Amino acid sequence: MSGKRVLMQGNEACVEGALAAGMRFYAGYPITPSTEIAELAAARLPMLEGHFIQMEDEIGSMAAVIGASVAGVKSMTATSGPGFSLKQENIGYAATAEVPCVIVNVQRVGPSTGMPTSTSQGDIMQARWGTHGDHPIITIAPSSVKEVYSEIIRAFNLSEKYRVPVIFLMDETVGHMREGIEIPAPGSYEVVDRALPDPDDKSWLPYAVESDKEVPKIPPFGMGRRYHITGLTHDERGYPTNDPAKAEKFINRLMNKIELNRADIDAFEEYRLDDAEVAVLCIGSIGRSAREAVNRARQKGIKAGLFRPVTVWPFPEKEVYALAKRIKKLVVAEQNCGQIVLEADRCVHGACPVQFVGKANGSMIMPDEILAAIEGGIC
């Protein structure tokens, strides 16, 4: 398939990109609208000497993914909102134990079972704050089938590099749309594997880090090192501790390994922003409607532009603030009752008005709706 142009669904591109990144273990439970990911993973992984397992529920799926990753295998699971809720305790475990893994959430309307076949972006805040306590997380939201393929590779790379769970936050529209894309040839994209310790280093500790790094080097189980993994706050040996000083050092390091590497983690699209007086901020499939709205506004003589975070968490705070200081209005469009708008408003610091365009009924926000907000007054 490599090097060929193919018609591919977003969920299919998610699997093919994950395989290209080195994913060789998948555990999950079928749930609309992500089921095609499980189906294709079940078919494709055995061809590459990988393994697929359907677990009894989403909690067990997340546990299996953690176990496979600890054994050294790049691992992934996929779900939608209800299953994502069930995964949260074990996502917290992966964050604390620093186990690389990728969790795909193809969003549908909620709460509860909601509208299983309808599109939504209602899990944005859950992707950041779903599990309890202060924890590191990276969340990526693609807007096209091509971007699904490239960004799922980047999701695995970031997970391996920073030993952190990465949430791949698709919406139903992106998951189920079909587009023609060219599959890149192997070697034309970066594939990152987790760093391993020097086998001759006698002073090695599993959760110790080098002075200029924030990420530990932990080998897979079975590679000649004995160490302890726990979900409890732990010291550099991996053993539980109630020492406040050690706990503070540990939590700060977990958070800093993301914050200090934002230049590598952050990604966003900027479109026609050079002279923009009004900007639209959105993620995922709404970026397509927003781009069309911006073009229509330009045809009417309105200087509009688009800012679309691809990396949603950590949120691009500095970039949003810098943009707000040079425009007259920021329009935030999202398929929910208001989640990103809260973060955007916080980051704007009053530099410009923020107008919200939301929809939570299972249908997409259309270009005309965004254009009306670009043209209109402040709500």
Q: What is the pTM of this model?
A: 0.96
The CATH 3.40.50.970 domain(s) of the chain lie at: 5-182
Q: Each residue of 46-68: pLDDT tens digit?
A: 999 999 999 999 999 999 999 99
- In the CATH scheme, what is the code of domain 269-375? 3.40.50.920
Q: Element (H or E) spanning 89, and its range?
A: helix 81-97
What does the pLDDT read at residue 378?
41
Of 337, 331, 332, the residue nearest 361 (C-alpha):
337
CA dist 195 and 214 (Å) reads: 12
Q: How far apart are CA 95 and CA 167, in angstroms?
A: 12
CATH of domain 5-182: 3.40.50.970
Contacts 24+ apart (CB under 8 A), 317-325: 317/347, 319/266, 319/268, 320/281, 320/344, 320/347, 320/348, 321/347, 321/348, 321/349, 321/351, 323/273, 323/279, 324/348, 324/349, 324/351, 324/352, 325/351, 325/352
pLDDT in tens, the chain (379 residues): 667 899 999 999 999 999 999 999 999 999 999 999 999 999 999 999 999 999 999 999 999 999 999 999 999 999 999 999 999 999 999 999 999 999 999 999 999 999 999 999 999 999 999 999 999 999 999 999 999 999 999 999 999 999 999 999 999 999 999 999 999 998 899 999 999 999 889 999 999 998 778 999 999 998 888 999 999 999 999 999 999 999 999 999 999 999 999 999 999 999 999 999 999 999 999 999 999 999 999 999 999 999 999 999 999 999 999 999 999 999 999 999 999 999 999 999 999 999 999 999 999 999 999 999 999 864 3
In the chain, which segments carry CATH 3.40.50.920? 269-375
